[in-house]
């Protein structure tokens, strides 16, 4: 008897979930269909224009980063390089020298998802980069490429090509 009741409860729960999914799906379709052309155009322009804030990591495969260079005053300070050794120390020194450039780079350890980081620069505001070879390697690559005269966009493209999925 208990087994029969359990199956009835499971069937009812599955039915409720299915109804909720169908209703939600219909709401989303209706919202898309009823959106005015003006509102759709505004939404599309917002999603494609380079704004001076981090990209939304939920809507982009490229991790969060600033499309337009933020003012250096907007960025938090990086940890002192003296706290670290070797390659990690070099990366923290680079981060101190080129903070605005690092803010324009995505970090492919995907810390934007798990830690809320806004860009590669965020990794150096605390000791996260000290424990992450991806952060260190990206920062040092960014530093080298900037010294060669490449723009943020050119460097970002190389970072994506090297570290991207």
Q: What pLDDT is stored for residue 163 in this prediction?
A: 93
pLDDT digits (tens, 9 = 90+) for 63-76: 999 999 999 899 99
* pTM score: 0.64
What pLDDT was estimated at residue 3? 73
* Confidence band, pLDDT 50/70/90 cuts, at residue 52: very low
What is the percent of the chain where pLDDT is above 70?
68
What pLDDT is stored for residue 7 in this prediction?
77
Task: Express each pLDDT in 73-95 by its tens digit.
Answer: 999 999 999 999 999 999 999 99
The pLDDT-based confidence of 18 (bands split at 50, 70, 90) is low
DSSP the chain: -HHHHHHHHHHHHHHHHHHHHHHHHHHHHHHHHHS-HHHHHHHHHHHHS--SSB--TTS-SSPP-BSSPPPGGGSPPPPPGGGS-HHHHHHHHHHHH-HHHHHTS--TT-HHHHT---SGGGGGSSSTGGG-HHHHHHHHHHHHHHHTT--HHHHHHHHHHHH--
What is the band of 49 on the pLDDT scale with cuts at 50, 70, 90? very low
């Amino acid at each position: 008897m208990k087994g029969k009741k359990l199956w009835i409860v499971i069937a009812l729960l599955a039915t409720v979930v299915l109804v909720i999914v169908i209703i939600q799906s219909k709401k989303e379709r209706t919202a898309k269909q009823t959106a005015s052309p003006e509102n759709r155009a505004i939404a599309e322009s917002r999603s494609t224009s380079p704004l001076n804030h981090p990209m939304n990591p939920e809507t982009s495969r490229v991790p969060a980063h600033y499309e337009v260079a933020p003012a250096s005053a907007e960025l938090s300070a990086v940890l002192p390089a003296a706290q670290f050794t070797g390659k990690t120390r070099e990366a923290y020194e680079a981060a101190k020298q080129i903070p605005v450039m690092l803010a324009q780079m995505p970090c492919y350890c995907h810390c934007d998802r798990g830690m809320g980081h806004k860009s590669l620069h965020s990794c150096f505001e605390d000791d996260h980069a000290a424990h992450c070879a991806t952060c260190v390697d990206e920062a040092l690559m960014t530093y080298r490429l900037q010294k060669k005269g490449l723009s943020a966009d050119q460097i970002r493209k190389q970072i994506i090509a090297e570290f991207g999925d």
